[in-house]
Amino acid sequence: MSKISMEELVNLCKQYGFIYQGSEIYGGLANTWDYGPLGSRLKNNLKDAWRKKFIQERKNAYEIDPSILMHPRVWEASGHVGSFSDPLIDCRECKTRHRADKLLEANNIEGADALSHEEMIKVIKDNKIPCPNCGKSNFTDIREFNLMFETYRGVTEESKMKIYLRPENAQGEYVNYLNVLRTTRSKLPYSIGQIGKAFRNEITPGNFTFRTIEFEQMEYQTFCKEGEDNKLYEYFKEFGKQFYLGLGIPQEKLRYKDHDKLAHYAKAACDIQYEFPWGFDEINGTHNRTNYDLSRHEEYSGVSMKYTDPETNEKYIPYIIESTYGVDRSILALLFNAYDKETLENGETREVLKLHPFLAPYKVAVLPLIKKLHSEKANEIYEYLNKYFMTAYDESGNIGKRYRRQDVIGTPFAITVDEETLNSNTVTIRDRDTMKQITISLDELVMYLNKVLSY
């Protein structure tokens, strides 16, 4: 089990500057969150880890940065205008709104998302499922509620055109698949990835940053020939799991969950779930989208989406294997996973975030042992190190307290500057996880840190 409750994690994030309530001074806008100095560093490091594994270390893989706002026909073609919706149900007693499938899941009814509206209503009635707010069981019928945020483009009332904030990033890759193929002179199979924001008017957002109305996705689309799709689908499920294992999440905290009900575009879909305090829940989704999206774009745009095999001259619309990683959900999982509370030999407790060093907001902290005597040299070292690494500097309070402050924000290494540094140009490096210290020459410091911080 996690050593920290959700409430404690929310407080820790706020206290140290990982995540704050959005628009806090106005009482907050529900389910919006702002990443603070440490949170945005952590997020950027996660994105860099993803870039390294999915773009840099893979052949035939390219990152793009398309617009959030797209032509409204994109969302008609993709099927989102017609069917990107959730089953909405209202409590007649207290007027709160709920997602019917989530209501069933919360009451341990398996496979709820595969039921029809009529079946869901029957199960709710037969089991007298209560409203989570007032406890009564008196619900309206179910209506489909489209999750896309709408806005308007145009300067005059007459010229206004309804457009949408994108509910998924994928379409940006699909409409650019031919551009990227041409400009990179690639052959299939090839992949396009992007990191960016998506927006969904979720009926029941919640659980801190787990389900929000604005969130980030790291998406990866692999274009291939029909027949190669099943193998690539299995490959990317495993690749995703390895990605999380490589960031320090242990095997037993992860599991696959096949979808009972498939999205309108998918032939197969499987999530990677992390064990949060409330149970296993989705952090990634891998989908076999077949040639649905590209065929629809060909139909709606009138532009051929066919690929011509340079060897055989065969023409076909590629299949797509998509693997999407929620940035915010992954951050939440990584924070829960990293938190530890230890009782030390002297009976004190220490809170520590055992984040993978590549993810840690600060890589190293420079701490003068005695402010009056060692801060000049410590500042020199700080100015030198911050050319290479995100470096923290702290000279206030006793050294034990300063170590604790770095432990709880996940800084993997702390350098103590003392008399030895002045006399023999050496520093002590303390390891966050083991609390062991080694002495090292200043000349070797950057090389050493580069080695222990590598990913």
Minimum CB distance to ligand GAP smaller for 330 or for 416? 330
Among 43, 237, 296, 329, binds ligand GAP (CB under 6 A): 329
Among 164, 215, 223, 307, binds ligand GAP (CB under 6 A): 215
Contact range with ligand GAP by CB under 6 A, out of 22-30, 35-43, 306-314, 321-329: 321-329
Does 211 sit near ligand GAP (CB under 6 A)? yes
Chain mean position to CA 284: 8
Smallest gap from Cβ 283 to ligand GAP, in A, equals: 5
Q: Where are the alpha helices (DSSP H) in 168-228?
A: 170-175, 177-184
Element (H, E) at 421: helix 419-424
Minimum CB distance to ligand GAP smaller for 198 or for 378? 198
Does 217 sit near ligand GAP (CB under 6 A)? yes
Does 101 sit near ligand GAP (CB under 6 A)? no
Minimum CB distance to ligand GAP smaller for 211 or for 402? 211
* Pairing relationship of beta strands 143-146 and 161-164 according to DSSP bridges: unpaired
Distances (CA, A) of 316 to 74, 304, 321: 21, 10, 16
CA atoms of 343 and 182, how far apart (whole Å): 59
Chain position whose Cβ is nearest to ligand GAP: 326
Check if the beta carbon of residue 21 is closer than 8 Å to that of residue 347: no
Secondary structure (H, E, C), 225-252:
CCCCHHHHHHHHHHHHHHHHHHCCCCHH
Question: Footprint of ligand GAP on residues 187-206 (CB under 6 A)?
Answer: 200, 202
Contact range with ligand GAP by CB under 6 A, out of 7-15, 187-195, 320-328, 444-452: 320-328
- Token digits for 374? 């060692």
The single residue listed with the structure tokens 């959730």 is: 86
Contact range with ligand GAP by CB under 6 A, out of 81-89, 211-219, 370-378, 398-406: 211-219
Smallest gap from Cβ 199 to ligand GAP, in A, equals: 9
Question: Footprint of ligand GAP on residues 250-309 (CB under 6 A)?
Answer: 282-285
Q: Is 106 helix (H, G, I), strand (E, B) or coil?
A: helix
Smallest gap from Cβ 257 to ligand GAP, in A, equals: 11
Does 234 sit near ligand GAP (CB under 6 A)? no
Among 328, 394, 395, 407, binds ligand GAP (CB under 6 A): 328
Torsion (CA) 104, 105, 111, 114 in degrees, nearest 10: 60
Minimum CB distance to ligand GAP smaller for 214 or for 340? 214
CA atoms of 262 and 270, how far apart (whole Å): 10
Smallest gap from Cβ 397 to ligand GAP, in A, equals: 37
195: Cβ–Cβ under 8 A, 6 or more apart, which residues? 47, 50, 51, 63, 216, 217, 218, 219, 327
Smallest gap from Cβ 198 to ligand GAP, in A, equals: 7
Distances (CA, A) of 207 to 10, 17, 134, 197, 326: 10, 19, 19, 19, 14
Minimum CB distance to ligand GAP smaller for 168 or for 275? 168
Smallest gap from Cβ 211 to ligand GAP, in A, equals: 4
Smallest gap from Cβ 255 to ligand GAP, in A, equals: 14
Contact range with ligand GAP by CB under 6 A, out of 324-332, 376-384, 415-423, 438-446: 324-332
The single residue listed with the structure tokens 């940035």 is: 327
454: Cβ–Cβ under 8 A, 6 or more apart, which residues? 358
What angle do the packed helices 6-16 and 327-338 form, to 10 degrees? 100
Element (H, E) at 439: strand 437-441
Q: Is 443 helix (H, G, I), strand (E, B) or coil?
A: helix
Minimum CB distance to ligand GAP smaller for 297 or for 402? 297
Q: Number of residues in contact with ligand GAP, rule: CB under 6 A? A: 18
Does 173 sit near ligand GAP (CB under 6 A)? no
CA atoms of 259 and 262, how far apart (whole Å): 6
Smallest gap from Cβ 422 to ligand GAP, in A, equals: 50
Smallest gap from Cβ 223 to ligand GAP, in A, equals: 15
Q: Where are the alpha helices (DSSP H) in 386-417?
A: 399-408
Question: Footprint of ligand GAP on residues 133-172 (CB under 6 A)?
Answer: 168, 170
Contact range with ligand GAP by CB under 6 A, out of 215-223, 303-311, 344-352, 426-434: 215-223
Question: Footprint of ligand GAP on residues 14-33 (CB under 6 A)?
Answer: none
Contact range with ligand GAP by CB under 6 A, out of 47-55, 326-334, 335-343, 410-418: 326-334
184 phi/psi in degrees, rounded to 5? -100, -5
Report the interface residues with ligand GAP, using CB under 6 A.
168, 170, 200, 202, 211-212, 215, 217, 219, 282-285, 322, 324, 326, 328-329
